[in-house]
Structure 1
């Protein structure tokens, strides 16, 4: 299975146009699903959602590693029958004429105690969340998008090795490249509810860690490239060292150093187009 689904609504994370397999799917409430997916260093990805009937207008909020990265609108079919039923978000705009793609990356791990404050800050790393909000639309205007400057930026992370994120990945924006400003439907309106109408959460880790934690069965070992098996052993050694540290074990004397970790996997899904944006 490579998507999450609640009624007419489905969501998935795609890499190179193929949906990531989802594991350990849990319904955390009537309107919320969570799962695990495998991340792969250097791979760009998109967050996608599809609404079979489009009975209501929805604002889709994409939250990556705890940071709001995008707001898009899917207009309702009764008032806007010619609009698409699917949306895909794979980048953030950095100016009127440039943008940067979402990309899985290595977390840098250090034993430098100057980074101890990153232990708590790293709690949101490793999650991609899509919140769908019911929207009351007051106006729709088609025009060339005018970029709003000063938005958040996802860059390389360094966390202390005592963090539970040791051995994991995070998301950063890829290299900036030129892209002309699109003509889009700029929507004005307001959310109808105090809480999201639907929430889909994708927790991502390297495939080796998903297997080590029993989220993916060992029978799926063929999905991991042979060159990554050494990395899996290194991750297990790091996990053992972390267990010793948390239980009060002595820390070896050494100068601060940075360690990095990798992961992998994929599958097919329909393409969606990105046409609307919240003003």
Structure 2
């Protein structure tokens, strides 16, 4: 998704997850993604404008999982796939199915269950003596227990993978760039559900045609005039910020391929427009013969 000078996405199983049913709510953009239990995932965000340090905070199921403070230059990309479990260890983020029970005393899932939220705020770096809190690790370490009456929702949650070592690092301490506007500059909210549930609710079908238009590779272009080629080349060289709301970070790959084809066609057209070289005719002359070179 692309909003307010930033792009963000969720990746799993080596690919970027498609987004569906986009909604805007102030500085927040929301969508649905299809999750698969047992698959690890990572979150990405990209600063398209730059000019200020960005504190990115990732919440999964309402729990702060990880974060980052960027350097503030345009084009900077941050990706996180783990939750810090201690100062020197982390655990990967994994989609999981919730545990069901017939116990009527078990409460319903928390409102934020089934959400991945990325909050991006413009900040000023104050120091590197911040204190990291690990209060949410216990909640994420074991999937929640919910009553089986919510089984029809086919609900998923986020759990943690095995622990792995991490290099100890200092925690950044920041303050808002604008004290009068300390809230997030933009928030991306991904509501993850099973593909079956999304199809049952018609969420995937509603945007099927739209998604095919935005993700299908561009057709081969065979313009007949050189001016057409250069016009299309110029049209493809647009700023990333001009892409539609649902463009993923690497949506430009198809356009780059089309751009290369157009540039090759331009070179071929340029060669075809060159005037043909005059064919030289070898004349055999006897010694002492005068040749007139002034005629046609």
Paired position in structure 2 for 1:136: 124
| Aligned residue in 1 for 2:104 | 113
Q: What are the equivalent positions in structure 2 for 1:235-274 lying under 5 Å apart? A: none
SS in 1 for 2:111: helix
Q: Does 1:167 align with 2:164?
A: no
Bigger fraction of residues in helix: 2
Once residues 42 and 192 of structure 2 are traced to their aligned partners in structure 1, the CA distance between those partners, rounded to angstroms, is 13
Offset of 1:97 from its aligned partner? 3.5
Q: Which has the higher strand share?
A: 1
TM-score normalised over the length of structure 2: 0.62
Cα contact 1:168–1:206 (8 A) shared by 2: yes
For residues 192-271 of structure 1, the aligned pairs below 5 Å read 192=178, 193-217=181-205
Tell me whether 1:21 sits opposite 2:8 in the alignment: no
Q: Distance in 2 between matches of 1:205 and 1:45?
A: 14
1:180–1:147 distance in 2 versus 1, CA, 3 Å: farther
Cα distance in 2, alignment partners of residues 159 and 130 from structure 1: 26
Q: 1: CA distance between counterparts of 2:206 and 2:187?
A: 30
Structure 1 residues 176-210: Cα deviation after superposition (integer angstroms, max 9, x where no partner) = 23x241557x5332124332110100000000000
Structure 2: gaps spanning 5 or more residues: 209-247, 251-296
Q: 1:127 aligns with which of 115, 119, 129?
A: 115
Taking the aligned partners of 1:38 and 1:97, their CA distance within structure 2 comes to 32
Shift of 1:95: 2.7
- Cα deviation 1:21-72 (Å, max 9, x = unaligned): 000011122x221000000010000111001231211111101101111221
1:163 Cα offset (Å): 4.1
Residues 188, 213 of structure 1: alpha-carbon distance in 2 compared, 3 angstrom cutoff: same
Runs of 4+ in structure 1 deviating by more than 6 angstroms, as ranges, are: none
Over 3 Å counting, the alpha-carbon distance change for 1:90 and 1:216 in structure 2 is: same
Contact 1:95 1:147 in 2 (8 A): no
* Larger RCO of the pair (alpha carbons < 8 Å, separation 6+): 1
Q: Which residue of 1 aligns with 2:42?
A: 46
CA contact 1:122–1:159 (8 Å) conserved in 2: no
- Larger Cα-atom Rg: 2
The CA distance in 2 between the partners of 1:92 and 1:165, in whole Å, is: 29
What is aligned with 2:7? 10
Mean Cα displacement is larger for which, 54-63 or 149-158? 149-158
Unaligned runs of 5+ in 1: 221-267, 271-279
